[in-house]
Amino acid sequence: MNTKIRDYKSELLLQLKKTMELYESADVEISVDESFNKIDTLLQRIEPSLMFYGVYNAGKSTLLNAIFGEMKASVADVPETHQVSYYKWGNFHLVDTPGVNGPIEDFYISQAELKKHDIIMFVIDDSDTFDSSFVAEQLVEIMAQNKPLIIVLNNKQSSDNERLEKIRVKLYQNILKAAQVKHLTGDISERYEFIVVNANMAYKGKVENKTKLLQFSKIQNLEILITEQLKKISGVKLLLTPLELLVDVVKEISNVLNNNMFGSEKKQFKELLEDIEGQKNLSLNELQTFIKWERNRYQELLYNQIISGNDIEATQLDLSNRVNGYIKDKVNTFAHVCHTEFDSFIKTAKIRVAVNFESPSSSGIESSINKAMSTSNDNNEGTIEKLLSIVPIVETLPMPPIIKIGLLITGIAKLFKKDDMSKNLERIQAEIEANNILQREAMNRRINAMQEVRTQLNIQLHKFEEEALTIAKESILKIYEQVTEEIGKMLVDADERFEAMSRIGKEISEIETMLLSIKNEIS
């Protein structure tokens, strides 16, 4: 799974460069140089950043190294970070700062940095340092600034889920008290994200390329969370202005190129390209919508079946069959539409067809789809079932209610058969209390297991959705590429200018599609 933070700024700069090159090669009669310069200036000013903050020796620097997959920040058992360190990651900055519980001069350095950065990642560990009113006060100060806050618990000492849950609850209680003093209103739990990561394990997994270590460290969950937060921050939102300007310029160039498509033959050619481009985009949008809808629809059903101890094989197979079947139908429909439009174009267009031209056949494409689907099913086989082994489900409590009731009735019966009523009553009461403790412990384990099931299920279904979308896109694009390739072969009478304009128009259209996609993601 690709969980690296998406670098929107670099993508826009690349699209700007491509647009400028296409504009120069097209030699169109419009002037957009000023717009290009303005867009470039706006983009260069944007440097989204994530600040690593937290308790001394909690693992801030180790976590930063784990994200990079190499040794960037020095690590030691004594405070090492006494100044702010900036690390470039694409067009993002990852910033390492001193801890909050160190020398006062270091504390002031970190405080001054808080207002400069878009996301704050506050790192604590599972020692006693997290249970501090001072730490809670610092977290509330960050919340009061309405910045995205990610609290990372680095489980250095233990991976015991029950202990980690107690730490989470205790930290929340401390934060709640500090928030009341600060008069911070609203649902405090909505003001931050909490995640558990093993930084040392994550770093080792990245450096040694060990998938299991990365999985157990949960660093990928953190990277996904960072990606989601970056989409919401003001730094990314600032991209909207230059993005919209670039979209306008691209549309202006596209309109001029379209007007330069002269002649009835070339008009027909342009219309064919537009129709197929439109069908391609429509098919991709419908596929994406359907796959996401089915993924969300089945997620709750699978979750309920897993925590109930029921077999999920049939449900998983049904989800896979529905998605795979829809992809095949949609791809075959797209291939049929392309084939039909080709036949119509050949019959009506007043252009000379290439000697060895053949209409695109869907047979070879369908064979490729079936092969891709088969490979996907092999890769996904048992993916969701693995949850049952990854997450232990407490199917029965140590002392079911029916046994407790029977125990009480038996004890009362014995009570009437013996003289020492008080002694027997005390013994029965002790047994009932012991049973209640067992039930509470089992219930806590079950709640933790249910939470882990939901997390792991969401991750696995996210993988399924990504793989299904990849297969769908590759299949549609394979047909699209074949169609556009054959169209190029047909136009043997087209002059160089027309070919150049067609190529530029297509690339401009792709740039526009890419820009609109980015705009939808960051809006």
**Which of residues 80 and 372 earns the better pLDDT score?**
80
- Torsion sign over Cα 22, 27, 32, 36: positive
What is the Cα–Cα distance from 322 to 324, expressed in whole angstroms? 6
Whole-number percent of the chain with pLDDT over 90: 15
Predicted pLDDT of residue 425 = 58
Q: Is residue 202 pLDDT above 90, yes or no?
A: yes
Nearest to 464 by CA among 363, 352, 382: 382
Which distant-in-sequence residues (6+ apart) come within 8 Å of 202 by Cβ? 63, 66, 213, 214, 217, 218, 219
Q: Using CB atoms within 10 A of its CB, is residue 466 exposed (0-12), middle (13-18) or buried (19+)?
A: middle
Q: Are 40 and 85 in contact (CB under 8 A)?
A: no
* Domain spans in the chain, listed from the N-terminal domain onward: 1-46+239-260+495-523, 48-237, 265-492
pLDDT band at 94 (very low <50, low <70, confident <90, very high): confident
Side-chain-facing half-sphere of 410: CA atoms under 13 Å: 10
Max mean pLDDT range (132-146, 328-342, 442-456, 505-519): 132-146
Q: Would you place residue 20 in the very low, low, confident or very high pLDDT band (cuts 50, 70, 90)?
A: confident
At the second CATH level, the architecture of 48-237 is 3-Layer(aba) Sandwich (3.40)
Give the pLDDT band (50/70/90) at residue 348.
Answer: low
The amino acid present at 320, given as its one-letter code, is: S
User: Is the pLDDT assigned to residue 265 strictly greater than 70?
Assistant: no
Phi, psi dihedrals of residue 151, rounded to the nearest 5°:
-95, 120
pLDDT of residue 414 exceeding 80? no
Interval 117-166: pLDDT, tens: 888 999 999 887 777 888 999 999 999 988 889 999 999 877 788 888 98
Average pLDDT on 230-246 reads 70
Pick the range with the lowest mean pLDDT from 76-80, 299-303, 436-440. 76-80
Q: Region 233-260: what's the mean pLDDT?
A: 73
> pLDDT at residue 233 above 70?
no
Instruction: Give the CA distances from residue 87 to residues 80, 83, 90, 302, in Å, rounded to whole numbers and listed in that order.
Output: 16, 13, 10, 42
pLDDT, residue 411, reads 41
Contact predicate 80/61, CB 8 Å: yes
Q: What is the pLDDT at residue 352?
A: 42
User: Per-residue confidence at 197, pLDDT binned at 50, 70, 90?
Assistant: very high
Of the two residues 97 and 491, the one the predictor is more confident about is 97
Residue 177 in this model has a pLDDT that exceeds 80 = yes
